[in-house]
Structure 1
Amino acid sequence: MKEKYNFSFFEKKEKRNNKNPIEHISASKPRCLQSDPANPHTLCRRYDPPLSICFTCKGHNHLKDKKYYYYCATCDLEFHRGCHYYPSEIKHPFHLLHPLTLTLLNPSFDLSEIPHSWAYDSSDSESYADAADPVDQDSTSDESREKCKSCGTNLDAGPAICYRCSICNFNLDLYCAFNPPPLTIENPKTHDHTLTLLPRKLHLPCDACGFSLDARNDSVFSCLLCNYMVHRRCIYLPRVIKITRHQHRLSYTSSVVVPTGDKLSCGVCRKVVDVNYGQYSCIKGCHYAVHSKCATKKEVWDGKDLEGVPEKVEEDIEPFVRIDEETIQHFSHDHHYLKVHHGNCNRRNHENKFCQACTLPITVSDSFYSCVQCDFVLHETCSCLPRIIHHPLHKHPLTLSYPFYPKHSNKGFFRCSGCNQDDCGFMYKCRDCNFFLDARCALLPDPLIHDCHPHELFINLTRGRCMVCKTLNCAPMFLECIECELFLGLKCATLPCVAHYKHDNHPLTLCCGEEETTDLQYWCEICETTLDATKWFYTCNSCRVTLHIECLLGSDVYMKPNHIIKIDDEKVDIARNSGNSRPLCDGCKDRCVDTLVFKWLDKTMCSLYCAKYQIRLERDDSD
């Protein structure tokens, strides 16, 4: 059976040099590598007699399933199919003392699997490619493993083939052997002098980014006159950039002068910025800096170098027009006026009302705007949501929109890219990519101070196990405590701190768990089962009422009643589950115990998941 090899590291190297996947064997008239390039000999196919010895790999019939091999009649040389692309010895600028010999660490390897263009294409792009790639570190410390002296790749991780000098124990993998970086680079924006290639890895910091120069998959260049050493990718760092974490543009600088004893923390990873190495700082003089690697991550930077580009003044668009002291005309409901109602004035004004922006119910203490002609309602704070924001969760500006159906030709709800929950309220949408944020995730401050943790929580675009639900899949985005290295998923972080229960006149508060509980057992008032007091739950401090989060808010927390959505072009009504008896779900056949039900035709479903399942099942049966 033919052995399978993993070529992912070869493919990664081709992508780093902006090369498309290459056909492995396409030459109609292969040439003999021992002949003069000006007057090459043509190789012919041979089937018989069997191959005696391959001139390139020196192997003896190690690939018996090959139907033919190549033969040069002039030189009287034989080559395996695939071996005819690669010379048996090469002279390389990284190792001029001795020639390098093609060596197969795995004798059963098939050279025809590797793109033959590597043997001829030595072109290299000098553009700044993928500055956001993290510094690769070798996951093993086994010094006995064979490694490429150029990129540091373990040679036994893939097809185990290299060019080797056995005298000096010097190895180059096949890609690095035929695609070496340029020996010199001139880039006046980065350095005044010509930078020269250092073919060896060094355990020293890069002067441009501060990370170690022994990183894999990147070359090192130096200026001996200035004692300056830098990663190749850092040579092409952009000069001026704009990231959504800061209101001003940032410019690259080799060092920053700060008062003695003062420290700068990176605006992305929050770790200390070493001012002796390159970083990005605010062009307006703000006390703000970002590591060069952090600033140019693909999740943080939009990839545009703004050097020489005039700065545009962004127009601040107000979300509403004020008619008088109590009346406004909001952009999301521009055909009617909205009138303000203050909290703690009339309980009837607040019953059975849900904010169109955050989808949460209007509580007694909330001030809100309601339409003078229809049921449109907005929290007073939600009515002031800015039309355009620059949020650290995304690298592009986000525009406030709303997925109302049928006014707009969409399905009436969306899935938040921050907390991964379905929502039918206001959304912040990116015009350049498929990214959405609901109002709650968009309003999260950075840093966030939450009752569940004593330290500040930052948006670092890092991931980990959520300290609340104890899972890695809490949400796509997390908040991080730098001191404790703990994480809080946005799904848990955006749970409302105050909620309302219809059988309690007081607001319920979110309790972040009690570490030291007494022998008294807690019970959920809705499902009448025990409640684990070490986990989050809602409680009334006056009445001592306790409720599970799922029982009070439901599974589809941010889907509001009296709203129409579309699922596969089918209209679905969202209604409150407020009847005397719990209906039977036509999807899962269980009782609908949640706060909402989804109605389609004559069917009732307990959740959005069951609604999607039932509609698609009916469609499949009809087809």
Structure 2
Amino acid sequence: MELSKIIPVSKPVCRLSYPDDPHSLCQRFDPPLSVCFSCKGQHLENRRYYYYCATCDLEFHRGCHLFPPEIKHPFHLLHPLTLIFSDPDFQSSRIPIDWPDSSSESDDYDSYEENPGSYEGHIVKCNYCRKNLQPEEFGMAYYHCSTCNFSLHRICAYIRPPLAIENLKCHDHTLTLFPRRVPLPCDACGFSLDTPFFDHVYSCLLCNYMVHRTCIYLPRVIKITRHPHRLSYTSSIVPSCELACGVCRNTVDVNYGSYSCTKGCRYALHSKCATNKKVWDGKDLEGVPEEEEEEILEPFLWIDEETIQHFSHDHHHLKLRQDGGSHENKFCEACTLPMTVSDRFYSCIKCEFVLHETCASLPRRKHHPVHKHPLTLFHPSSSNPHKVERKYYRDGFSTCDGCTRNCCGFIYRCSEQDCEFQLDVRCASLPDPSIHDCHPPDHPLFFNFTSGSCMGFESVACDHCEYLECIQCESFLCLHCATLPCVAHYKHDKHPLTLCCGEEETRDLKYWCEICENKLDATKWFYTCDSCRVTLHIKCLLGKEVYYMKPNHIIKINGKNVDIEYNNGNTRPVCTKCGLRCIYTLVYKCENEIFCSLSCLFQPGLPLGYHYYMTRRIMRIRETEKLEEEVEVELANQ
């Protein structure tokens, strides 16, 4: 026999070997398989190779090597387990044909999942996962010990965990495999050991300690963006300290493992919450020296009491001003909101650059609970420091991953090189917890990585946003609605408009939108003037997609320049794509064509003027039908 004919691969284990002394299998192409030890079948033409155990001198079809007729398993070491077929008419020689043709088998049980079920007749339960063994494509097959009446699902039998694990970081004694599921809490995370997913249980009988296999390897020291200090794993918290988890806000049980602040802060996290992929960056900092205090980067330098030099506009100085009326139609470069009479802002002494006073003080580096990495502030028109083209990033504006809005203002981007997460300044400035007018002030809203039905104004964008949650009443508010400006301005009203989150008691009253002149549902969110009783739809005032774009600004889309202009002409222009009048504050002009929104600008596949043609056609049909009805009424009256 030539050794070159035996090619080692990922070295699957021979299932006939002892768990503490496994044999590796090799792929063999030649000579042809004589007899498969499992199914007793001969060589198959549709199989390129088979598996061979040099120690046992046995041959297996691919697939058959996973489930031999008899095995020794750590879940039942007293007797060997025999492969049983529930269907008496099922021939074992069909196994190699019915098994998937794959050579990527491994001992990782996390990729296998079975649904509970049963089959007609006798119900057999697996002694490990305690699920009903259900029939499959190739017939009902499981491993069974007739002496002990012990059965294992074929996938559970495939799992071969170590019999003992020694991890002094987790426990002082050796942990031994506990081959059955018990409805008891894990001492490391507090979740039940009787979990529906495959997670082995290990125990220390000396200490009455039981733990999930994954919990054995929990990191000892971590750092998350929700807390300024490092957190260390502890087996229990002082009983007198009743703390709420910093992620899910539920009480942390002092009897089970959790994470607490290394500096002595009254801050704790559940083990599973702290190691959630959305919260933790995956780095165990045990033994890593703690870095010195992070250098705080000031957003600006003081020139004098009223003059600064901002990092985003370092070639000119900015001077503090308080009369917003002198800067009418000026928009803040950071939040893109217009300047008002009551605003304090910084204005460039040489150009048109302006910043709200609060926006000028935005920190350059921020730790936000919605993302696991630090965020850095910069302007979207500047070059991308990571040299990575975002999927939704185009020259001159960006898309917020928190509220899904497009904006031309400042954004916070992830500091990690391979991470493209970014937030606009409105989402990044939301505190945790937050208070909103749509919800009682004694019910704070938290970032909790959960979602539900948004109690906002029911925009399509709500389905793709991050959410705030009220833990007490289990209600949700998406960031798209949470960051709507509480005060807005309408060009035909000298008073500021306030955001109203619905008026249940005025359901019978008829409100009308000042812009579109259609009915306005007072139970939904809208803007109103308390002095003039003017009411407007949110979309009519802020725009169709409710995004923040600045007029007199140029963006690039598909290599073409797009001008953002005021819609302040004598007549409302007609959108080239949808064929409707542009009723919103801004319009987009590209190559002498006007679009009412970015969705119309991006909409592919339809010829220009198609929607306008279809709209006019439908109107003509309706007018004809109405005219015919009037003629029929007149004829009937005659």
TM-score, with length taken from structure 2: 0.79
**Cross-structure match for 1:540:** 529
Note the C-alpha offset of 1:606.
1.2
Structure 2 counterpart of 1:456, one-letter code: P
**1:559-598 CA deviation, whole Å, 9 max, x = no partner?**
1111111112222111111111111222222222221111
**1:228-255 CA deviation, whole Å, 9 max, x = no partner?**
1111111111111000000110000111
Note the C-alpha offset of 1:323.
1.0
**Structure 2: distance between partners of 1:145 and 1:570:** 67
**Cross-structure match for 2:297:** 317
**Cross-structure match for 2:559:** 569
**Structure 1: distance between partners of 2:14 and 2:165:** 34
**Structure 2: runs of 5+ lacking an equivalent:** 1-6, 18-22, 388-393, 609-638
**Cross-structure match for 1:517:** 506
Task: Confirm or deny that 1:465 pairs with 2:444.
Answer: no
Note the C-alpha offset of 1:69.
12
Inter-CA distance 472–208: structure 2 relative to 1 (3 Å threshold): farther
Inter-CA distance 616–170: structure 2 relative to 1 (3 Å threshold): farther
Match of 1:426 among 376, 388, 410: 410
Note the C-alpha offset of 1:81.
6.5
Note the C-alpha offset of 1:473.
5.5
**1:126-166 CA deviation, whole Å, 9 max, x = no partner?**
xxxx9xx9xx9998698997665445677549766533335
**Cross-structure match for 2:281:** 302
Match of 1:435 among 381, 396, 421: 421
Structure 1 counterpart of 2:432, one-letter code: D
Inter-CA distance 333–306: structure 2 relative to 1 (3 Å threshold): same
Inter-CA distance 591–169: structure 2 relative to 1 (3 Å threshold): farther
Structure 2 counterpart of 1:479, one-letter code: L
CA contact (8 A) 1:151 1:219 kept: no
**Structure 1: distance between partners of 2:125 and 2:165:** 26
Look up the SS of the partner of 2:576 in the other structure: coil
**Structure 2: distance between partners of 1:371 and 1:96:** 80
Match of 2:258 among 276, 279, 285: 279
Inter-CA distance 78–593: structure 2 relative to 1 (3 Å threshold): same
Inter-CA distance 323–214: structure 2 relative to 1 (3 Å threshold): same
**1:183-204 CA deviation, whole Å, 9 max, x = no partner?**
1111111111111110101111
Note the C-alpha offset of 1:86.
3.7
Match of 2:438 among 446, 452, 476: 452
**Cross-structure match for 2:379:** 402
CA contact (8 A) 1:524 1:547 kept: yes
CA contact (8 A) 1:357 1:439 kept: yes
Look up the SS of the partner of 1:440 in the other structure: helix
Inter-CA distance 175–377: structure 2 relative to 1 (3 Å threshold): same
**Structure 2: distance between partners of 1:157 and 1:502:** 70
Inter-CA distance 597–187: structure 2 relative to 1 (3 Å threshold): same
Task: Confirm or deny that 1:263 pairs with 2:242.
Answer: yes
> 1:335-350 residue pairs with structure 2 within 5 A?
335-342=315-322, 345=323, 347=325, 349-350=326-327
Inter-CA distance 42–603: structure 2 relative to 1 (3 Å threshold): closer
Match of 1:181 among 149, 152, 161: 161
**1:302-355 CA deviation, whole Å, 9 max, x = no partner?**
01111111122210010001111111111011111111122xx462x2411111
Note the C-alpha offset of 1:459.
0.2
Structure 2 counterpart of 1:389, one-letter code: K
**Structure 2: distance between partners of 1:563 and 1:99:** 76
CA contact (8 A) 1:405 1:565 kept: no
**Structure 1: distance between partners of 2:434 and 2:25:** 72
Note the C-alpha offset of 1:88.
1.0
**Structure 1: distance between partners of 2:312 and 2:202:** 55
**Structure 1: runs of 5+ lacking an equivalent:** 1-24, 619-623
Match of 2:226 among 231, 239, 245: 245
**Structure 2: distance between partners of 1:114 and 1:606:** 55
Structure 2 counterpart of 1:316, one-letter code: I
**Cross-structure match for 2:333:** 356
Task: Confirm or deny that 1:598 pairs with 2:588.
Answer: yes
**1:537-574 CA deviation, whole Å, 9 max, x = no partner?**
00011111110000000024211111111112222111
Note the C-alpha offset of 1:467.
1.8
CA contact (8 A) 1:83 1:111 kept: no
**Cross-structure match for 2:217:** 236
Note the C-alpha offset of 1:301.
0.3
Pick 1 or 2: higher relative contact order, CA cutoff 8 A, min separation 6. Answer: 1
**Cross-structure match for 2:312:** 332
Structure 2 counterpart of 1:200, one-letter code: R
RMSD over aligned Cα atoms:
4.0
CA contact (8 A) 1:69 1:78 kept: no
**Structure 2: distance between partners of 1:137 and 1:314:** 45
Note the C-alpha offset of 1:414.
1.1
**Structure 2: distance between partners of 1:547 and 1:395:** 38
Note the C-alpha offset of 1:84.
5.9
**Cross-structure match for 1:417:** 401
**Structure 2: distance between partners of 1:377 and 1:424:** 14
Match of 2:466 among 470, 477, 487: 477
**Cross-structure match for 2:574:** 584
**Cross-structure match for 1:198:** 178
Note the C-alpha offset of 1:613.
3.3
Structure 1 counterpart of 2:595, one-letter code: M
Look up the SS of the partner of 1:273 in the other structure: coil
Paired-residue identity, %: 62
CA contact (8 A) 2:324 2:344 kept: no
**1:370-423 CA deviation, whole Å, 9 max, x = no partner?**
111111111111110000011000000000011126999961111111111111
CA contact (8 A) 1:102 1:164 kept: yes
The answer to which of 572-581 and 103-112 deviates more is 103-112
CA contact (8 A) 1:587 1:614 kept: no
> 1:129-144 residue pairs with structure 2 within 5 A?
none
Structure 1 counterpart of 2:482, one-letter code: A
**Structure 1: distance between partners of 2:16 and 2:332:** 78
> 1:60-209 residue pairs with structure 2 within 5 A?
82-83=63-64, 86-103=67-84, 110-113=97-100, 115=102, 118=105, 148-150=126-128, 156=134, 161-165=141-145, 168=148, 170-209=150-189
**Structure 1: distance between partners of 2:337 and 2:185:** 51
**Structure 2: distance between partners of 1:385 and 1:157:** 62
Look up the SS of the partner of 2:297 in the other structure: coil
**Structure 1: distance between partners of 2:252 and 2:113:** 21
The answer to which of 97-106 and 332-341 deviates more is 97-106
**Structure 2: distance between partners of 1:181 and 1:94:** 9
Structure 1 counterpart of 2:429, one-letter code: L
**Cross-structure match for 1:385:** 362
Structure 1 counterpart of 2:428, one-letter code: A
Structure 1 counterpart of 2:160, one-letter code: P
TM-score, with length taken from structure 1: 0.81
**Structure 1: distance between partners of 2:301 and 2:59:** 84
